[in-house]
Amino acid sequence: MAPQKDEKNHLPVLGVGPVYVIIIVILTTTCIVLSQMGVLPYLRIRATIAVFHTAGTIFFVAGIWLWVSAAIKERLQDNIIENKLITTGVYSVVRNPIYSAFSFVLTGVLLIYGNLYLFPLSLLYWALLTIMMRATEEKWLLEQFGDEYRDYCKRVNRCIPWFPKAE
């Protein structure tokens, strides 16, 4: 019988990701449906439809690219199991690229849908991600990697690439 790895030797592979993703998907879907039903107000400026569709498509595609780069190209699961802090590739641009990817995709959906009243949801995604990361994964990573993680946080933003850090 092969020895089993102690599951406590590494951080959770999924972290709080599924909870975050489920919350923002449900929120986005609910708001779009309620907007379609007339329960929430709908405001679209006809002259901006093409711009919003283009921007939405860019956000959507960027989100998918970010997810693929973070999860597959960087072998995220393997690195977590091996207790390696990933700071290369897309992780050198943003500390939480998988969560950012879902935020980008759903922001793209909102832009394509085009209801100006729903655009603040993107700010809510960022706020929720910030709160969830500070309360969970950032504490785990700091405990696991100490100064290495602290230095990484000083160099790389949490969820929006190249956005000024408020930490």
Number of domains observed in the structure of the chain: 1
- pLDDT tens for the chain, 167 residues long, are 433 444 455 555 567 778 889 999 999 999 999 999 999 999 988 888 999 999 999 999 999 999 998 888 877 777 666 778 888 888 888 888 988 999 999 999 999 999 999 999 999 999 999 898 888 888 888 988 999 999 999 989 888 776 655 54
Given this model, what pLDDT does residue 63 score? 95
How far apart are alpha carbons 158 and 93 in whole angstroms? 9
How far apart are alpha carbons 157 and 30 in whole angstroms? 29
Containing structural domain, residue 52? 24-32+45-155
Full-model pTM: 0.81
Residue 167 forms part of a structural domain: no
Residue 164 forms part of a structural domain: no
